[in-house]
Amino acid sequence: MSLVKTVATVGGWTLVYRLSSFVRDILQARYLGAGMFADVFACAFKFANVLRKIFAEGAFNASFLPIFSNTLKDKGEEEARKLASQTFTWLMFFVSFLMILCLIFFREIMSVYGRGFEPGSEGSEHLIVVGRICSSYIGASFLVALFGGILNTLNRFAMPAAVQVVLNLSVIVALLLGPLWFPSVAYTMAWATFFAGFIQLAILWLNVRYCGMKVWFDFSPVMEGVKVFFKKLVSGAIGAGVWQLNVVIDFAVLTLLPTGSASYFYYTDHVNQFPIGILGIAFSTALLPPLTRAIHANDKDGAQKQMGLGLLFAFVFTLPAAVILMLLSEPITGAIYGHGKFTAEHVTAAAPALTAFAFGLPSYMMTKVFSTTFFAHKDTRTPLIGGMISIISNLLFILILVPYMKHVGVALATSLSAWCNGLYLIFKLKSLGTVKIEKPVLLECAKQLIVSFIMFVAIYVMNIFANDYYYAQEKFVRNTSVISVVGLSILVFFVVGKILGIFKFLEDVKTLKEV
């Protein structure tokens, strides 16, 4: 089966999710601005995301999906249903226990994570309450991951991809109506997040039942697959926790900085995550599986080709995105967030953080290519060391940069640490002995750099003529000028890229098949 349909389905819904995220962020900035409550929600929401990524995302999928898929293939649908039901049953107990611990000790957790909020202060008390509401969303996330994984295994990709949009829709509706009910928009968004998790769960549970997989409580003797799943989940969560330490460190530092710092970081990080999210989904779906299969089959030529395609894919989209975000950081930040309570001063303060984030954009995708190569060789040690290098370098860069650059220093430290991780993985690539970065790939990467530089010059020139329009009184003029420059920049990249032939490798990507 061709991957095009799968990529279009998953990538399409991911695009809808990212676009709806922009609408959510625009409304959040309009009604919440960048003050104390904005910092409170940013910290609380990020903490909930850290828990979700540790337990209910990568670690869960890596633990459950292979076991469920193999059971369905080898033992049939009834055994697979029983496995899913037992996993659901004991997962409910595990999630309940985890949530109770989190709620009981949340004040102590926040005293470390949000140490910049003085204990007993207004900000600290709001952070604890809002954080407890947001973190309760994690309970539903576990089960959303479970039912989403079941549907993906049954080749039903649309609904698990589409259901993520529910969170944004819930928050958007709440922001339009909620301020009438709550004293602060931060509480409105927190409760909207909480209820969105259970709406997502209900939708996926009904879809699983519609597919004939009736998952419910099962207290029969525990299957071996369930035991293996929980062992892998715990060990995987420990590994995932290492990768999330950077986020914890960043926000612990941001709360020590002037009010608004966490908000600036939060808003601009979401803009930076847009290309990462879209390209990451497409990359993972289209390129990572064949790379893994080639390495497992000891097909050195195939693995070499797939890794080269992965590297070119990573750079051909992230390099222009990085150039656009770096050179147009303030106009883009103003166009997206510069409304309502998010003032011009807030835009000016936030924009440099977007520039700093964009600098690391290519390294995030590059690291994904090389990490996957090591994982496919069953080498988990090297990516883990790379992650530790990222954490240590992030902390060192924070110590060096934050005294002079405040929240921008935290964003730049994040980017620099990502480059440290990527460069370490490149250095260790030769230890595998099966794959290397060949000269033709390096030549194609050089072409992409040349095209990106030409686009850089084009944007620089356009900025000279469009600068006054970026700050016009009329929002329509401001937004139109930003959209026009971005559109022309992309056109320049595409035309020059076609002339130099940097898109030819995409023909090879189209021929990839999934098994």
pLDDT attached to residue 515:
41
Q: How far is CA 485 from CA 253, 326, 362, 479, in A?
A: 35, 13, 22, 10
Q: Are residues 99 and 194 in the same domain?
A: yes
pLDDT attached to residue 1:
43
Per-residue pLDDT reduced to its tens digit, 461-504: 999 888 888 887 788 888 889 999 999 999 999 999 999 888 88
- Band the pLDDT of 354: cuts 50, 70, 90: very high
> Could you tell me if residue 253 is inside a domain?
no
Judging by beta carbons within 10 Å of its beta carbon (0-12, 13-18, 19+), is residue 360 exposed, middle or buried?
A: buried
Q: Are residues 46 and 167 in the same domain?
A: yes
Q: Are residues 305 and 235 in the same domain?
A: no
**Final residue before a domain boundary, out of 186, 212, 241:** 241
pLDDT attached to residue 100:
86
> Could you tell me if residue 28 is inside a domain?
yes
**Final residue before a domain boundary, out of 184, 206, 241:** 241
Range of the domain at 197: 1-32+36-241
> Could you tell me if residue 473 is inside a domain?
yes
- Band the pLDDT of 239: cuts 50, 70, 90: low
Q: Are residues 330 and 461 in the same domain?
A: yes
Q: Are residues 284 and 414 in the same domain?
A: yes
> Could you tell me if residue 248 is inside a domain?
no
Full 3-state SS string of 60-127: HHHHHHHHHHHHHHHHCHHHHHHHHHHHHHHHHHHHHHHHHHHHHCHHHHHHHHCCCCCCCCHHHHHH
CA–CA separation, 138 vs 46, rounded Å? 12
Q: Does residue 23 register a pLDDT over 80?
A: yes
CA–CA separation, 81 vs 47, rounded Å? 33
Q: Are residues 204 and 319 in the same domain?
A: no
Q: How many domains does the chain have?
A: 2
Q: Are residues 200 and 287 in the same domain?
A: no
Q: Are residues 154 and 187 in the same domain?
A: yes
Classify 510 as helix, strand or coil.
helix
Q: Are residues 326 and 473 in the same domain?
A: yes
Q: Are residues 508 and 450 in the same domain?
A: yes
Q: Are residues 287 and 223 in the same domain?
A: no
**Final residue before a domain boundary, out of 190, 214, 241:** 241
Per-residue pLDDT reduced to its tens digit, 394-447: 999 999 999 999 999 999 999 999 999 989 988 888 777 666 777 888 898 899
> Could you tell me if residue 164 is inside a domain?
yes
Q: Are residues 304 and 200 in the same domain?
A: no
The kind and range of the H/E element at 150 are helix 137-153
pLDDT attached to residue 114:
77
CA atoms within 13 A on the CB side of 367: 25
Classify 332 as helix, strand or coil.
helix
> Could you tell me if residue 252 is inside a domain?
no
CA–CA separation, 134 vs 154, rounded Å? 31
> Could you tell me if residue 247 is inside a domain?
no
- Band the pLDDT of 248: cuts 50, 70, 90: confident
The neighbour count for residue 139, using CB atoms within 10 Å, is 23
> Could you tell me if residue 251 is inside a domain?
no
Classify 285 as helix, strand or coil.
helix
Beta bridge partners of 513: 2
pLDDT attached to residue 280:
66
